[in-house]
Chains A and B, each alone.
Chain A
């Protein structure tokens, strides 16, 4: 037994900071065909989208579509990071046997940082989604672009500070997530129970740090698309969607792994039941936050706040709002209510796919009315950017996941997790 881990080569560090470790008890047994195919498909679709999208005809649409697809992957990664942090902080037992999945998915930040290049470029492009506040002369009263409201926010809304903030978020998330990942894999190798304590200490300051940076990432990446509008709960709304998607992603991955013959007898109906309960809970939490935001703005009736909802309740966007209400809350709420649905892989996986689609739909609903005020629409780039980026995300996740034990075998709580039962 070694008592330390080797780092991986420089290029591979962006996907997995650790060199592969061996597991006798819980190895990844599927062939690499799955993730190679996903990787190739993802690369192809992303590159085609970028090359076609970067042409003048589609450029505005492309920036938005790419941003939505990228934020979708980012939100899953962040949600998974929160699952791991909260697990360590509350010493949750049940989740130990499937913890490696959110753990592996939360180490995606270096990859997402590379994939953020088109988003960064868009800041400097007058066709970019952020042009409402990045335009030259926006704070200059003599300029024809002068915007009094944005001028008042210019101390916060300027490109250098925006870039510095995004960089800070990514450094913080990368640091916390890769440290959690490293310690967890190290525990598999050494079996040292004290690593659990170190993980808990890390989570104690990691959780508030990630909470604040996630809220501000929501403000910066999505809320500034409409820089006149503001909502203090928006960060929580972003978190709610992210956390829910992370549980869906985990449930879906577990169901897929079990179908591929892994984790059998390790993840049981009891674990599915808990994942289902959390999905149910955060469907309600999402609706609670979304409604809180809506109701206060409805009650206040101040034009600068209601405008955001006005755009989303006219020109076809009202259909989208309705679909969101039913598809993201009412229907999953009713379906997830019975106990039996939550205890079986197949129905739970179907709901997970549905809710992940709804997360994307939600991000689309938040961003797209800024571009298409006149008519609600989908563009093929919306789909291709999402498909490409998500495939890359999944391929990197699978590859990283396959290099280590797929169960946290060194965790002293594993036994309790395997025997876990809902009373």
Chain B
């Protein structure tokens, strides 16, 4: 049960479990960004959810094609901001009025005026840190180990190649059917990626 939950959470971060025969998934190459977008749209509408696209640069419209929906990181930002505000208010009150009250030119020990800069800064700081941290966590980053690195062709993804990867953990995954789908979507080459150090490559 718990294992399943952990697997689902990891899958939402893009970290997929390999199948028992160590098949990690299918990696298909597409000739250009446009083909990749339409392939992503097709894969998503065929019901696949455990898949990802890889390209050397961001592609407009890819979020929508992959059916990713609105990023949830904004809610984390809000939580971070509110925590920062609360923390700063408490910090100002406790340090200046409780722990070490000091009379400075007759001003009240705790006043909202001089506290606002601290409240503002900590709100921004925590919101920003939680945004960056939350973004990394939701993307499953940093990720030094990824079975896709076993594919030799995949290294071109930072240069001039466009890939779509469907994970074997997807409930719709079937080696032959998925391969047909990727081929229909216009893939120029497809390879089966294994999770233990080798991959078989064949060109169509």
Q: Chain A: residues with CB nearer than 8 A to chain B? A: 291, 294-295, 298-299, 301, 337, 339, 421, 423
Question: Can you give 18 contacting A-B residue pairs, CB < 8 Å?
Answer: A291-B116, A294-B113, A295-B113, A295-B114, A295-B116, A295-B117, A298-B113, A299-B107, A299-B113, A299-B114, A301-B105, A337-B78, A339-B70, A339-B74, A421-B60, A421-B61, A423-B58, A423-B60
**Contacting residues, chain A, for B113 (C-beta < 8 A):** 294-295, 298-299
Question: Bound complex: CA of A291 vs CA of B113, how far in Å?
Answer: 9
| Chain B hits for A423, CB < 8 A | 58, 60
A17–B47 Cα gap in the complex (Å)? 60
Quote the shortest CB–CB distance from B3 to chain A (angstroms): 35
Distance in Å: Cβ of B118 to nearest Cβ of chain A: 12
> In the complex, what residues of B have CB within 8 A of residue A294's CB?
113
Question: In whole angstroms, what is the CA distance A339 to B70 when docked?
Answer: 10
What is the distance, in angstroms, from A251's C-beta to the closest C-beta of chain B? 22
Closest B residue to A419 by beta carbon equals: B60
State A337–B107 Cα separation when bound (angstroms): 34
Which B residue sits closest to A340, measured CB to CB?
B70
A290 to chain B, nearest CB (A): 11
Complex-state Cα separation, A421 to B105, whole angstroms: 53
> Whole-angstrom distance between the alpha carbons of A421 and B59 in the complex?
12
Identify the interface centre among B74, B78, B114, B116: most chain A CB within 10 Å of its CB: B116
CA A89 to CA B140, docked complex, whole Å: 39
B71-102, CB under 8 A of A: which get 1 and which 0? 00010001000000000000000000000000
Expressed in whole angstroms, the minimum distance between the Cβ of A9 and any Cβ of chain B is: 48
Closest Cβ–Cβ distance, residue A349 to chain B (whole Å): 23
Residues of A within 8 A of B74 (CB): 339
By a CB distance below 8 angstroms, the chain A residues around B116 are 291, 295
Q: Name the residue on A nearest B106 (C-beta).
A: A301
CA distance A64 to B58 in the complex (A): 55
- Nearest-Cβ distance from residue A17 to partner chain B, whole angstroms: 40
CB neighbours (8 Å) of B114 from chain A are 295, 299
A340 to chain B, nearest CB (A): 9
Closest 4 CB pairs of A and B: A298-B113, A295-B113, A421-B60, A291-B116
Within 8 Å CB of B117, what residues of A?
Answer: 295
A67 to B74, CA, bound (A): 43
Bound Cα distance A302, B199 (Å):
77
Closest beta carbon of chain A to B109's beta carbon, Å:
15
A304 to B144, CA, bound (A): 63
Residue in chain A with minimal CB distance to B63: A423
Bound: A117/B47 CA distance, A: 70
Q: Tell me the nearest residue of chain A to B120, going by C-beta.
A: A288
Across-interface contacts of B70 in A (CB, < 8 A): 339
Chain A contacts of B105 at CB under 8 A? 301
Report A-chain residues with C-beta under 8 Å of the C-beta of B61: 421
Query: How distant is the Cα of A301 from the Cα of B116 in the complex, in angstroms?
Result: 17
Task: Please report the C-alpha to C-alpha distance between residue A162 and residue B61 in the assembled complex, in whole angstroms.
Answer: 56
Q: How far is the CA of A298 from the CA of B116 in the complex (A)?
A: 13
A295 and B112 alpha carbons, distance in the complex (Å): 10
What are the interface flags for B38-61 relative to A under an 8 Å C-beta threshold, 1 for contact and 0 otherwise? 000000000000000000001011
| Besides the known contacts A294-B113, A295-B116, A301-B105, 8 further A-B residue pairs in the complex with CB atoms under 8 A apart | A291-B116, A295-B113, A295-B114, A295-B117, A299-B107, A299-B114, A337-B78, A423-B60
Q: Considering only CB atoms, which chain B residue lies closest to A296 in the complex?
A: B113
When C-beta atoms are compared, the residue in chain B nearest to A337 turns out to be B78
A220 CA to B78 CA, complexed, in Å: 41
Instruction: A339 to B117: give the CA distance in the assembly, Å.
Output: 26
